Amino acid sequence: MTRALLGSLATLGSRSRIYLAQDAIEIDEIEGYTGTRKRVLLDEVLLVTLDRRRSRSLLIGLGLVAALVGLCALAGVGRVDLGGLGIVAVFLSPFLAIMGFHAAVGSDYVTIFGKRTIAQMMFRFPTGRANAVFLQVRERIAEAQEQARRDTAAALPAVPAPSTSAA
């Protein structure tokens, strides 16, 4: 059985890789040294979403680090004139650039909700990969659910037509 990597999600405590298999979305979760595999069957998917988010914790963390670096640079320069502020601005510019980029662009997330499991992928840069994965997954889910409907309809016995003659 072949699997295609769709995306991944990394948090402070775990990493997840999401694959598209023949009949399911497979989630490999690695927490520390242990790994588990979960599956969301394509015909049991309830919802697929695509959204863009900004990480509040990243913005706050970068802001605090920038403030600390700025204060250290200002203390190291020892003067508050145009030259000193220019040196502080040089030290702060990487942090402010990353904060500005993330605040302006954000990260794209594709989330697949199954009956028992949720698969979530994050795409840092808006290159269109999130849209492509969203459309691919949505198409495969539609095919699998249509096939399940046809199989269910074929398995049901035919209902006889009601009689129109009066007895």
3-class DSSP state for residue 6?
strand
Q: For residue 9, is it left (φ>0), alpha (ψ between -120 and 50) or beta?
A: beta
Tokens of 110: 């594709």
CA distance 60 to 22: 41
- Whether 87 has a pLDDT exceeding 90, the answer reads no
Rg (CA), the chain: 26
CATH of domain 4-54+107-151: 2.30.29.30
Confidence (pTM): 0.76
145 or 158: which leads in pLDDT: 145
- The DSSP secondary structure of 91-157, one letter per residue, reads HHHHHHHHHHHHHHH-EEEEEEE-SS-EEEEEESS-SSHHHHHHHHHHHHHHHHHHHHHHHHHHHSP
> Mapping DSSP to helix (H, G, I), strand (E, B) and coil, where does residue 68 land?
helix
Which tens digits make up the pLDDT trace of 9-46?
998 889 999 999 999 999 999 998 899 999 999 999 99
> Cα–Cα distances in Å, from 69 out to 66, 78, 85, 90, 124?
5, 14, 13, 11, 25
Of the pLDDT bands very low, low, confident and very high (cuts 50, 70, 90), residue 49 is very high
- The tokens for 16 are 């997840």
